[in-house]
Chains A and B, each alone.
Chain A
Amino acid sequence: MLYINCPHCGMRSQNEFSYGGDASVKRPELNKEVSDQEWDNFVYNRKSLRGKHLELWQHISGCRQWIKVERDTATHEIFRTFKADEEVA
């Protein structure tokens, strides 16, 4: 079970969180013309990365904040975690 550092609450076990997928996906702006390809990329197409991956988790049984977690998908090592509005350098 992963041990995730919630930037709001501190170290917490994985069972307090729910997974939210790739954090690098950006929703197209509202009311903007979007091509089929762009929309498909947003809704469906994901890279199944091996290695470092920036992903979303929600601290659902804690502070309920969505956070970003930089994690290695192969080793499960977690490098850093970020608040939702924090820029990932």
Chain B
Amino acid sequence: MTQAFRIENGGLINKDKKLSFKFNGKTYFGYEGDTLASALLANGVHLVGRSFKYHRPRGFFGAGVDEPYAVVQLYRNGETEPNIKATEQELFEGLEAKSVNCWPSVNFDIGAINNFLKIFLPAGFYYKTFMWPKSFWYRIYEPFIRKAAGLGVASTKHDNERYEHKYEYCDLLIAGSGPSGLASAYAAAKNGAKVILAEDKPRFGGSLLTSDVNIGNQSGKDWAEGIIAELKKMPNVDVKNRSQIFGYYDHNMLVMSEKVSDHLPSTKKYHPNKRLWYIRAKEVVISSGSIERPIVFGNNDTPGVMLSSAAKEYLKVYGVLVGRKPLVFTNNDSGYETAIEFKKHGVDPVVLDSRKNAESEIIDEAKNLGINIKNSHVVVAAQGYKKVKSADIASISEDKKQLGKIENIQCDCICVSGFWTPTIHLASQSGNKTKFKEEIDAFVSGQSKQNEITLGAANGVFSLDETLKTSFKAGSELSKKITENDNEIAIPNVVEKKSSQHDKFWCVPLPKGKNYKRFLDFQNDVAVSDVEIALREGYRSIEHVKRYTTLGMATDQGKTSNLNGLQLVSEIENKVVPAVGHTTFRPPYTPVSIGAIVGREVGKHSKPTRKSPMHEWHEKNNAVFVDAGVWLRPRYYKKGNENLFEASKREAKNVRTNVGVCDVTTLGKIDVKGPDAAELLNRVYTNAWLKLPVGKARYGVMLREDGIVMDDGTTTRISENHYHMTTTTAQAANVLSHLEYYLQLVWPELNVNVVSTTEQWAGAAIAGPKSRDLLQKLFPNSDVSNEGLPFMGYIEGDLFGVKARIFRISFSGELAYEVNVESDYGNFMWEKIIEVGEEFNIQPYGTEALSTLRIEMGHVAGSELDGRTIPFDNALEGLVSKKKDFIGKRSLQRSAFIAEDRQRIVGVVPLDKQTSIPEGSHLVKDDKAPLPNPKLGHISASCWSVEYDNPFSLAILKDGKNMIGQKLFAMSPLKNKVIPVEIVSSHYVDPKGERVRS
């Protein structure tokens, strides 16, 4: 197929490289340097989608980030991405895209019936209609609306692309590479400042690429290219294209999304798809330019109606004519510039100017070229369904209320210019108030809140000469503050045509008897009539009008519609625009891929994976691992065809009968050193610590100030002023911060140092009736008898030449020891234990067996210490000192904490001794009681008791102390289970604790 609308000469595309691409299944050709939009327009394709609500045909409206219509589903290298603006997507060989929001096809869309029903689909239609009956919402309305509405479809496949994050610091960050960005970057760079210049488009230069100006005897485009080439050579400058600064956050942190690979058929090896930059800048220059706004008229959404600046860009950058019979409708001189470009390429445009008289150099040029100009004329309505075929035009009275006789003229596109809206998003996100500038009928940034300055068109300055002068100056001054250099820059001479004042006119009145839809927001199908309804129904705040009508929402965020919406509201409300105000400009300025925001932190990289020194041994011995915080721990060691249940039962049984070994490296360990270490422990733990002798361990519970248990563990006195504290795996980091808080802020007089030693020690718990025999063989020179190493004793030993710490502590409730060696010897220790333990039938056991052992002993763990329980609830009140003060003690006097029927830990056994009780089940008195059934407690942990060979659970139960022997029901609506149970003591096995002392 030929590119019928491509001009012979002109454009910045590379005509030597032809690219083929597919749109809606049909193959077309474009050139390197095209966007999908320009390539389609070159082929005469104007119909690209259907509108959101009425499914009206949609074409191209802009040529960049402001595009409200041409949103497509993109297919690239086996992946698909929704909501891509065709005006931003660069063409590559083999690109495939499809229209969205139409079914079965863009040419014949069943949803377009909404267009004829539009009288029934006014603002707030969904809110009003689908409220009733309530039960219809989930089953009928919601699924229907979901299917009918929405734009693209997200992929459900794993995204194989890689996204990176980068942190950067600079002196000057410059957002936008138009004249103001280039001038300020250049001046700052010359002063030696570290500069980052960001441009969202592939080409640098902004408006200079399309404007007919002369800077220092060069065209604007050539001047821009020269500056960029020079900047690229400077080591202190980073020049980034395809990079959109989309958010301005606190303390001059800005975030930029760099499209690294989107313009290529596939991502290069080792390259990311996108890179997200977090940039901390000393100074920020907002040179984001301005966006042309439309004039509102009847059927102004018809394909072929587009911004005049977009038509000019397609012609000058891409060498594409958007039509051969263009009608230019303008209220200012910009429309003439577009008309002149058409004329220069042999196309005869008609210009309708809403102004009665206007004189300027630009208009003179148009007149000299013989362009047909009609003053005091407007487009009343576009005609044509899938493409503009003609326009109804009329003269308009000076007060813009009366239309003259309507005549129809042939045209194939309508290029509309309603003047320019500065892009103040970043300035507003910085925290600046905005102010309304009457001369340009738009908002500009008020006083800077952070170290930033807005320059050029973004600041409502449309004269190139003035922009360059202020921007060179700003770049010099801002960088001088930082680098203290003050290099003079010769400001080039500028030749530009002077323009005249624009007309404060934005909406064409409806002719008598006509009911054309006049759209304000093209992406969301918000028409003038919708805003009128919202106001009639009492919505006053502009934020409410926005949400009720959806004006300014969705992927373009109303870049072309906001101001006209405000004009309308102010007109109806009889207010001035600044009194109506505007909706908040929130980041992101443009849609950002979720992948870019997430970066590398996906899958396994979402958190660090920590492994014990014995990890490889576990792997070799068929360990099945489980995540324990950031650690990987063996859950069980699979033998043959065993499942989790069978393996953990075997492992736990072996501990109760022989001896087992468990990797406990992951336990948090904190070294506590200093003359006041005992005093610190005494204040942190609920029990007494001042008299603990050297060589002894003690179990301790620590509270938060609100009386809730924070953590538990044993702490051992290694020497006079040195303690070894252990914490649970999960709370290790919090406990360290907690200790640091008290030492640094509350009791700085205590002479104590704390440091984490979790990773310095590898730990193995040796548990079971044969553990002492094994220990004796491991440490033949140490006295590990009950007298030599009694329960809660500590000695140092020699493990085949390796220094080891031996603690006689037990979590399993059996006779047990914990051996620690320096991490590097962890595997050596483990292999020795296994090797020597063979004759005692040693087996390694994982966290599942560990849980079983502790549950049937009634030892509490994370599932009971869940941030809601006090010592009493865990049957730990015996550890709460009555004599001394400690963190959280005062809170234990709260009335709820001393209530007679306070919750407490109990054991739970199913009456049938068969059915395992799901963790999280509720305990209730009456299983038939109406919902919500009063909850008495919950099952915190469940296991299969290897001692009694039946299920056993722990529960936190209201008035638990007096409930022993009661029959209740454990209910799990999630698992659809109701289990009759009996409440027993939480100490199910060895209630007197004789084994640990044996």
Contacts and interface: CB of A to CB of B under 8 A. Distances in A.
A80 interface: no
Given A2-B251, A31-B885, A66 B891 contact: no
A1 interface: yes
Contact of B891 (A39, A60, A76): A39
A1 B745 contact: no
Interface string B867-899: 000000000000000001100001100000000
B431 A75 contact: yes
Given A2-B251, A3-B253, A43-B705, A84 B744 contact: yes
Interface range for A: 20 to 34
Interface residues of B, number: 24
Nearest to B449: A75
Given A31-B885, A58-B737, A76-B250, A3 B280 contact: yes
Q: Which 3 A-B pairs have the closest CB atoms?
A: A3-B251, A30-B885, A84-B744
B929 interface: no
A31 B253 CA distance: 47
B890 A76 contact: no
A87 interface: no
Contacts of A1: 249-251, 253, 278
B427 to A, nearest CB: 16
Contacts of B119: none
Contacts of A20: 741
B740 interface: yes
B745 A66 contact: yes
Interface string A29-70: 011001000010011100000000000101010001110000
Contacts of B705: 27, 42-43
Contacts of B251: 1-3, 76, 78
Given A20-B741, A64-B740, A84-B745, 11 more contacts: A1-B253, A3-B252, A13-B167, A13-B253, A31-B885, A43-B705, A58-B741, A66-B741, A75-B449, A76-B250, A78-B251
A84 B683 CA distance: 20
Contacts of B431: 75
Interface of A: 1-3, 13, 18, 20, 27-28, 30-31, 34, 39, 42-44, 56, 58, 60, 64-66, 75-76, 78, 84-85
Contacts of A60: 737
Contacts of A30: 683, 885
14 contacts: A1-B250, A1-B253, A3-B250, A13-B167, A13-B253, A28-B890, A31-B885, A43-B705, A56-B745, A58-B741, A66-B740, A66-B741, A84-B744, A85-B748
B1 interface: no
B449 A58 contact: no
A5 B891 CA distance: 35
B616 interface: no
B758 to A, nearest CB: 15
A51 to B, nearest CB: 15
B706 interface: yes
A78 B450 CA distance: 12
A30 B883 CA distance: 12
Interface string B700-726: 000001100000000000000000000
A25 B929 CA distance: 47
Contacts of B117: none
A31 B705 CA distance: 14
B154 interface: no
Contacts of A13: 167, 253, 280
Contacts of B250: 1-3, 76
Chain B CB count within 10 A is highest, among A34, A39, A78, for A39
Contacts of A44: 706
Nearest to A20: B741
B891 A43 contact: yes
A73 to B, nearest CB: 12
Contacts of B746: 27
Contacts of A58: 737, 740-741
B522 to A, nearest CB: 35
A42 B167 CA distance: 39
A58 B741 CA distance: 8
Contacts of A84: 744-745, 748
A66 to B, nearest CB: 5
Chain A CB count within 10 A is highest, among B251, B431, B449, B683, for B251
Interface in B227-281: 249-253, 278, 280
Contacts of A18: 737
B268 to A, nearest CB: 30
B885 A66 contact: no
A2 B741 CA distance: 22
Contacts of A2: 250-251
Contacts of B706: 43-44
A39 B890 contact: yes
A12 to B, nearest CB: 10
Nearest to A26: B746
Contacts of A64: 740
Interface string B164-191: 0001000000000000000000000000
Chain B CB count within 10 A is highest, among A30, A39, A75, A84, for A30
A13 B253 CA distance: 9
A39 B891 CA distance: 8
Interface in B658-702: 683
A1 B327 CA distance: 49
A66 B885 CA distance: 24
B881 to A, nearest CB: 12
A75 B252 CA distance: 13
Interface in B437-454: 449
Chain A CB count within 10 A is highest, among B683, B737, B748, for B737
B253 to A, nearest CB: 5
A4 to B, nearest CB: 9
A26 B586 CA distance: 39
Contact of A65 (B252, B253, B744, B885): B744
Contacts of B278: 1
A87 B518 CA distance: 65
Interface string B277-316: 0101000000000000000000000000000000000000
A1 B278 CA distance: 9
Nearest to B756: A64
Chain B CB count within 10 A is highest, among A2, A43, A56, A76, for A43
A2 B278 CA distance: 12
Nearest to A64: B740
A85 B60 CA distance: 63
Interface string B821-843: 00000000000000000000000
Contacts of B683: 30
B501 to A, nearest CB: 38
Nearest to B167: A13
Nearest to A31: B885
Nearest to B894: A36
A59 to B, nearest CB: 10
A1 B165 CA distance: 15
Nearest to B278: A1
